[in-house]
Structure 1
Amino acid sequence: MSDLVQREAAAIREQWLGQALSTLPADRPAAEAAISELYRLIGLPPPRFRWVPSPVAGLTTVPPGARVRESVERMADWPVPGRFAALVRELRKELDARIRPAQEPIDRLIHQTVLFPLSRSVSTTLVPPLQAAHDGPFRQDWYGLQHWVVRYDALRQVAGVAFTGPQLEQLGLWATLAASCGWWWPRESVCVVSERPVAMHTEVWGDDGEVRLHCADGPAVRYADGWDLHYWHGTRVPPWVITDPDVRRIADEANVEVRRCAIEHLGWASYIERAGLRLVASAPDPGNPGSELHLYDMHRGTRVLLAVNGSVERDGRRRRYGLTVPGFLDDPIDAAGWTYGLSAAQYSLLLRRT
Structure 2
Amino acid sequence: MRRHQRRESRRIEVSEFWPEITRFTAEWLGHALSTVGADRAAAEEAIGRLYGLLGKPPPEFVWIGSPGAVGEVLEPSLVTLGFDAKWPLASRIATLISDMRQGLDAYLSHLDLSEVDRAVLVPLRETVRTGVADRIRAELTTGYGLYWYGQQDADWVANYELCQQVLGVQYDHDDAERLLLLAQIVRSCGWWWPRDAVCVIAERPLALRTAEGKLHSDSGPALLYPDGWAVHCWHGARVPAWVIENPTVEAIAAESNIEVRRCAIEHLGWPNYIEQAGLRLIDRADDPGNPGCELRLYEDRPKWKTRILLAVNGSAERDGTRRWYGLRVPPWFDDPLEAAGWSYGLTAHQYSRLLRRT
User: TM-score with structure 2 length normalisation?
Assistant: 0.84
Give SS of 2:227's match: coil
> Quick one: which of 199, 216, 219 aligns to 1:217?
219
Whether the 8 Å CA contact 1:282–1:293 is kept in 2: the answer is yes
Q: What is the letter of the counterpart of residue 225 of structure 1?
A: D
Query: For residues 146 and 195 of structure 2, what CA distance do their matches in structure 1 show?
Result: 15
Whether the 8 Å CA contact 2:147–2:193 is kept in 1: the answer is no
Give SS of 2:199's match: strand
Q: Give the corresponding residue for 2:88.
A: 79
Q: Give the corresponding residue for 1:234.
A: 236
Q: Give the corresponding residue for 1:88.
A: 97
Whether the 8 Å CA contact 1:85–1:142 is kept in 2: the answer is no
> Quick one: which of 129, 141, 147 aligns to 1:135?
141
More helix by share: 1
1:311-326 alignment runs, 5 A limit: 311-326=315-330
> Quick one: which of 276, 279, 293 aligns to 1:277?
279
Superposition deviation, residue 137 in structure 1: 7.8
> Quick one: which of 177, 180, 185 aligns to 2:188?
180
Change in Cα spacing, 1:288 to 1:13, as seen in structure 2 (3 Å) is: farther
Query: For residues 114 and 76 of structure 2, what CA distance do their matches in structure 1 show?
Result: 41
Change in Cα spacing, 1:336 to 1:155, as seen in structure 2 (3 Å) is: same
Q: Give the corresponding residue for 1:338.
A: 342
Superposition deviation, residue 222 in structure 1: 1.1
Query: For residues 230 and 75 of structure 1, what CA distance do their matches in structure 2 show?
Result: 24
Whether the 8 Å CA contact 1:85–1:145 is kept in 2: the answer is no
Q: Give the corresponding residue for 1:61.
A: 72
Superposition deviation, residue 272 in structure 1: 2.1
Superposition deviation, residue 74 in structure 1: 4.2
Unaligned runs of 5+ in 1: 64-69, 205-210
Query: For residues 139 and 343 of structure 1, what CA distance do their matches in structure 2 show?
Result: 54
Unaligned runs of 5+ in 2: 1-12
Q: Give the corresponding residue for 2:9.
A: none
User: TM-score with structure 1 length normalisation?
Assistant: 0.85
- Structure 1 range deviating more: 273-282 or 287-296: 287-296
Superposition deviation, residue 184 in structure 1: 0.8
Q: What is the letter of the counterpart of residue 114 of structure 2?
A: R
Superposition deviation, residue 84 in structure 1: 2.3
Query: For residues 234 and 261 of structure 1, what CA distance do their matches in structure 2 show?
Result: 10
Q: What is the letter of the counterpart of residue 129 of structure 1?
A: I
- CA offsets per residue over residues 4-35 of structure 1, 9 Å max, x none? 62333232222111111111111111111111
Q: Give the corresponding residue for 1:199.
A: 207
Q: How many residues align?
A: 337
Give SS of 2:320's match: coil
**Over aligned residues, Cα RMSD in angstroms?**
2.6
Asked if 1:15 is matched to 2:27, the reply is yes
Change in Cα spacing, 1:85 to 1:342, as seen in structure 2 (3 Å) is: farther
- CA offsets per residue over residues 189-248 of structure 1, 9 Å max, x none? 2111111111111111xxxxxx21111111111111111122111122222222222222
Q: Percent identity?
A: 50
Give SS of 1:5's match: helix
Q: What is the letter of the counterpart of residue 310 of structure 1?
A: G
Query: For residues 116 and 139 of structure 1, what CA distance do their matches in structure 2 show?
Result: 27
